[in-house]
Amino acid sequence: MSRKNLFGNLAVPIPQAGGEPPAAMAPERPFAGKERKPPRMASALGAITESLGAITEKAQKAEEMERRLAEGLTIVELDPANVDVSFVRDRMIYTDEDHTKLVEAIRANGQQVPILVRPHPKEQGRYQVAYGHRRLRAVTELGIQVRAVIRNLTDEQLVVAQGQENNERTNLTFIEKARFALRLEDAGFSREVIQQALCVDKTYLSRLINSIKNIPPDIIDAIGYAPSIGQRRWQEFSEKLTAQKLAGLRETLHSPEAQTAISDKRFEIAIKALLTERPVSPPIEQWVSADGIRLVKYSQADKKFSLVIDEKAVPQFGQFLIGRMQSLYEDFVGSQSR
């Protein structure tokens, strides 16, 4: 879908930057001349003296302005401090290098492509981004106004524009698409709206959502946007992930090796950890004396039984137990032969 059609499918544009949605567009052409006032003889005589060429030029400019308004391409400049992000996050955090490149490009050439915003549905005088979050962050860092197109958008229209613009410019990675789809579904949007936003069919949308439902958000955040990892690998990851493996996986993703790796490599580290079977630690029990002292911890795994004595609670009890070990053993053997 072209960006022109994307704009065309949305609601009525808002030409001013004041935050108040406009009334229906008036039939007169305010850009063609001065504001209408009651006719006066002096102004009528003055109008006669204007050159015909100047009137024609002004009318042409008005026509061009109105044409751009009708197409939704009127661009205004807004204070970034008055612009909030979308209520549904799509992209994950990109690298500092990506951000720096965008900042330098805008510094050198200006913001070539405007962002799309709507009047904030809850806060008068503020706006909410449909798309252009990276550009907004860049111009904010540069301390300049953000160039934007303002349109009245419903929540559904906003997420459709947000998703389609991402598909048109730079495709989201698989995990970003899947997460965006799941967030939209959790927010109550219908599958039909989500399909429009991501430009996918019903079957593929089900794959997107089902492939990550089993993966906790913090695990996805730790791995990152993984640009080279597709649906098959994420599905495998989800199938191998169990509740018993979560603690070990989190530990792996916080290791120095994972923290210094790029996103694709972090995925490989994570799935390797899932595929490597780790011995399951046996549950640890406590023995408490009749007077309430937690003296011994014990556990049993396969053919091993382990005791850990807390000598802070009862000093020298371990040595005392070792000294009685032979007699205890003999008592045990005797009990088994009865």
The answer to whether 115 and 140 have CB atoms below 8 angstroms apart is no
For the four alpha carbons of 56, 62, 63 and 64, in that order, the dihedral sign comes to positive
What is the pLDDT confidence band of residue 287, given thresholds at 50, 70 and 90? confident
pLDDT at 147: 94
The per-residue pLDDT for 73 is: 64
Question: Highest-confidence range of 20-34, 71-85, 147-161, by mean pLDDT?
Answer: 147-161
Q: What is the pLDDT of residues 40-90, one digit of tens each?
A: 544 544 554 454 555 556 455 544 544 454 455 688 999 999 999 998 877
Q: What is the dihedral of CA 100, 103, 107, 108, to 10 degrees?
A: 60
Specify the DSSP class assigned to residue 100: H
- Looking at domain 1-20+54-166, its CATH class is alpha beta
Structure tokens at 67: 């044409």
Mean of the per-residue pLDDT values of the chain: 79
Query: What number is the average pLDDT over the span 178-189?
Result: 91
Between 204 and 93, the higher pLDDT residue: 204
Read off the amino acid at residue 204: Y
Task: Kindly report the CATH class assigned to 171-275.
Answer: mainly alpha
Cα–Cα distance, 248 to 281 (Å, whole number): 12
DSSP assignment of 166-197 equals HHHHSPPPHHHHHHHHHHHHHTT--HHHHHHH
Percent of the chain with pLDDT over 90: 41
CB count within 10 Å of CB 249 equals 23
Cβ–Cβ < 8 Å for 148, 127: yes
Domain ranges of the chain: 1-20+54-166, 171-275, 284-314
Question: 254 with 273: CB under 8 angstroms?
Answer: no
| CA dist list (Å): 243 to 183, 220, 236 | 22, 15, 15
